[in-house]
Amino acid sequence: MAPRSYTFSHAVTRRPSAAIVDGLRAVDLGAPDLATFMQHHKDYVAALKSTGAEVLELAELEAFPDSVFVEDAALCLQQAAILMRPGAPSRLDEAQQMRPVLEKIYGSVLAIEGPGTIEGGDILVTEREILVGRSERTGAAGIAELEAQVTPLGYQLREVHTPPGVLHFKTDCSLLDHTTILATARLAASGCFEGYDVIETADGEEACANAIRFNQIVLFPAGFPKTLAKLHAAGYSVVEIGNSEAAKLDGGMSCLSLRFSPQG
């Protein structure tokens, strides 16, 4: 059977809007450039499509500066899509913007009702479990609500910790295959990947830990040669995508899509 954690028939993306200059960021490294962001986004969508997947490209949403980062608004599993409840107040209603899109695909959707919060960037689905990192955006109540929704679907959820000062759990890690995770040394040192094989990002290249395995390829941010060499040496087929503009808003490869193979 095809691995459900990295085999996808579909993806959803949303075009960046001019409002990205108002996107949230931990450190101000300057405003992202829309034209460059759009080019990177185009390359990203083309890479997803190159695997044979169907990509639904949603129109930009000026009212939500961070809405290009669609991953935070929902968790898409084979059997169900679950709308998240983002912890950033300016992003809370992004989940409702995603509702009609996912209802059309899945027929109906589940939702985190609150009061807790949880963002997709803190959720790593592997072949054997769902890891959720507690963070500034994702708290115990949100995680408990998600657990109550995914347990009946046959998933095991494990709560872990996003490192302090790191936006999301997946800022620091990615799934590469059934048993292999790409992670920063600081996250791997927490012991949360016991039982997995870990490829650590090279020293000074922590910012490339957020990649995605999507069907036969790994989408990986451009500009991290030492870690790229490690992935090549391990036999992965890597496609580099420019990420300079998304990175100014603490975004990376996973944030830019929802990935799924819905099964009715």
Chain residues that interact with ligand CIR, rule: CB under 6 A: 23-25, 66, 69, 71-72, 88, 91, 120-121, 167-168, 170-171, 249-251, 254-255
Least Å from the CB of residue 252 to ligand CIR? 6
Indicate the burial class of 206 (C-beta count within 10 angstroms; 0-12, 13-18, 19 or more): buried
Signed CA dihedral, 225, 226, 231, 234: sign only: positive
Residue from 168, 173, 192, 208 carrying the catalytic annotation: 168
Answer yes or no: are the C-beta atoms of 223 and 213 closer than 8 Å. no
Rounded Cα gap, residues 108 and 261, in angstroms: 15
Least Å from the CB of residue 210 to ligand CIR? 7
**Using CB atoms, what's the residue nearest to ligand CIR?**
121
Question: Is 255 annotated as catalytic?
Answer: yes
Residue 90 vs 179, nearer CB to ligand CIR: 90
Residue 164 vs 195, nearer CB to ligand CIR: 164
Least Å from the CB of residue 263 to ligand CIR? 24
Peptide bond into 225 cis (omega under 30): no
CA 166 to chain centre: 14
Helix (H) or strand (E) holding 146: helix 140-150
Rounded Cα gap, residues 1 and 159, in angstroms: 27
Q: Which residues contact 260 (CB under 8 A, 6 or more apart)?
A: 8, 9, 10, 11, 76, 77, 78, 81, 105
Residue 25 vs 158, nearer CB to ligand CIR: 25
Least Å from the CB of residue 243 to ligand CIR? 11
Rounded Cα gap, residues 53 and 63, in angstroms: 29
Question: Is 76 annotated as catalytic?
Answer: no
Type of residue found at 83 = L
Residue 201 vs 254, nearer CB to ligand CIR: 254
Least Å from the CB of residue 120 to ligand CIR? 6
Residue 2 vs 166, nearer CB to ligand CIR: 166
Rounded Cα gap, residues 250 and 262, in angstroms: 29
Residue from 76, 173, 208, 255 carrying the catalytic annotation: 255
**What amino acid positions are annotated as catalytic residues?**
168, 255
